[in-house]
């Protein structure tokens, strides 16, 4: 952690991985280029790979990338560590622990590809505002073309906001953190949620609850490469369930114990039930209007998505967790 105001700020780009050698081959050179690109902003960046495979299957790939990155005049450090404890929360906590000398930490997934101005945009907005965190958009590309049900159901449609918009929750697949604020609040990822999902939701909501601000940066785009196994009806519906489930689980965890927590459970249950009923109604409308083709299909698909999210909310309100799909260990 830098103390000299004239010294470069230190930044760690953390990429978590689990038995995805081809993704490491693709993303590491891009991250090295990103690290070089922020030097003009007074930031010295390094790449950190946290391998959640106890066998260290990614070591050879990372060491080759590290050798290539260091063998140039403007070399970039690429470090590799193994986090043997299963679960993405443990891997994220290892990234925090390995970034003790850094001022900033950026999380990106191994199956994502950063846009040209990704890191510069995140760093510039944080430097300008002093915000506790900056989050950017994720867009999807697919190994196989999604079927109409998935397209019309908008299962992979993500939010889009103007740069500088304040948000109260963020995923950690495209997130910059001011580690000074993280340390001030004593935050870490909850390992109890590492296999269930929602650890990033709890972390970022806790950051905001502790007085931090998360700002949106529309220019900091990463592309999510979606494998064929995730472009299925089963996967996207389970993902919608998991999303609602994680929101309720973390809402209960953030609420005060006693009567306040009970009221939180009841409120979440009611909201989830409304979603289930609304989704069922939408599905029914789509079924009745089936001759209308894609418009009808969209109603049915979005109805199923809404029902799944609502059911997840009700279950999560009473402590029933669900292992999140699409994780580093999944």
State the number of CA atoms in the 13 A half-sphere of 127 facing the CB. 15
pLDDT for the residue 32: 96
| Residue positions counted in the chain | 330
pTM: 0.91
Mean pLDDT of the chain: 92
Rg (CA), the chain: 21
User: Are the C-beta atoms of residues 200 and 103 closer than 8 Å to each other?
Assistant: no
Closest CA relative to residue 198, chosen from 252, 130, 273: 252
pLDDT in tens, 228-274: 999 999 999 999 999 999 999 999 999 988 899 999 999 999 999 99
Residue 50: φ, ψ to 5°: -105, 110
pLDDT for the residue 255: 92
CA 11, CA 2: separation in Å to the nearest integer? 10
B/e letters for 285-321, b = 16+ CB within 10 Å, e = fewer, are ebeeeeeeeeebbbbbbbbbbbbbbbbbbbbbbeeeb
Strands (E), 91-200: 104-109, 112-114, 133-135, 138-142, 166-167, 174-178
Closest CA relative to residue 38, chosen from 129, 114, 142, 143: 114
User: Are the C-beta atoms of residues 90 and 46 closer than 8 Å to each other?
Assistant: no
pLDDT for the residue 8: 84
**What DSSP state is assigned to residue 320?**
-
The more confident residue out of 6 and 212 is 212
- Is residue 289 predicted with pLDDT exceeding 80? no
What are the CA-CA distances from residue 108 to residues 13, 112, 136 (Å)? 7, 7, 10
pLDDT in tens, 162-202: 999 999 999 999 999 999 999 999 999 999 886 677 899 99
pLDDT for the residue 232: 96
DSSP three-state, residue 207: helix
pLDDT for the residue 42: 96
Residue 81's DSSP bridge partners are 50
326 band by pLDDT with thresholds 50, 70 and 90:
very low
**What DSSP state is assigned to residue 3?**
-
Q: How large is the average pLDDT for residues 278-287?
A: 93
User: Are the C-beta atoms of residues 16 and 32 closer than 8 Å to each other?
Assistant: no
**What DSSP state is assigned to residue 246?**
H
pLDDT in tens, 44-86: 999 999 999 999 999 999 999 999 888 666 789 999 999 999 9
**What's the token pair of residue 4?**
């000299």
DSSP run (H or E) holding 316: helix 294-317
321 band by pLDDT with thresholds 50, 70 and 90:
low
């Amino acid at each position: 952690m830098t103390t000299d105001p004239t010294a470069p700020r230190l930044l760690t780009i953390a990429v978590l991985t689990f038995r995805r050698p081809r993704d490491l081959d693709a993303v590491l050179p891009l991250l090295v280029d990103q690290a070089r690109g922020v030097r003009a902003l007074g930031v010295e960046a390094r790449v950190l790979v946290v391998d959640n495979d106890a066998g260290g299957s990614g070591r050879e790939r990372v060491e080759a990338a590290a050798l290539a990155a260091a063998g140039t005049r403007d070399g970039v450090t690429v470090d590799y560590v193994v986090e043997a404890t299963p679960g993405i929360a443990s891997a994220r906590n290892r990234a925090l622990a390995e970034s003790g000398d850094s001022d900033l930490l950026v999380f990106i997934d191994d199956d994502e590809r950063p846009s040209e101005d990704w890191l510069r945009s995140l760093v510039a907005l944080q430097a300008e505002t002093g915000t506790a965190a900056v989050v950017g958009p994720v867009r999807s590309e697919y190994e196989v073309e999604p079927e109409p049900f998935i397209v019309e159901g908008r299962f992979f449609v993500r939010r889009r906001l103007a740069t500088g918009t304040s948000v109260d929750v963020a995923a950690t697949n495209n997130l910059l953190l001011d580690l000074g604020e993280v340390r001030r609040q004593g935050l870490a990822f909850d390992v109890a949620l590492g296999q269930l999902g929602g650890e990033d939701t709890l972390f970022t909501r806790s950051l905001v609850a502790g007085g931090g601000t998360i700002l949106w940066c529309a220019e900091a785009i990463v592309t999510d490469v979606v494998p064929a196994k995730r472009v299925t009806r089963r996967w996207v519906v389970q993902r919608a369930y998991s999303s609602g489930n994680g929101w309720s689980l973390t809402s209960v965890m953030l609420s005060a114990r006693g009567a306040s927590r009970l009221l939180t459970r009841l409120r979440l249950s009611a909201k989830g039930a409304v979603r289930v009923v609304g989704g069922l109604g939408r599905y029914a409308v789509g079924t009745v209007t089936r001759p209308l083709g894609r418009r009808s299909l969209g109603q049915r698909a979005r109805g199923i998505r809404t029902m799944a999210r609502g059911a997840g909310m009700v279950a999560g309100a009473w402590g029933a967790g669900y292992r999140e799909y699409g994780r580093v260990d999944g």
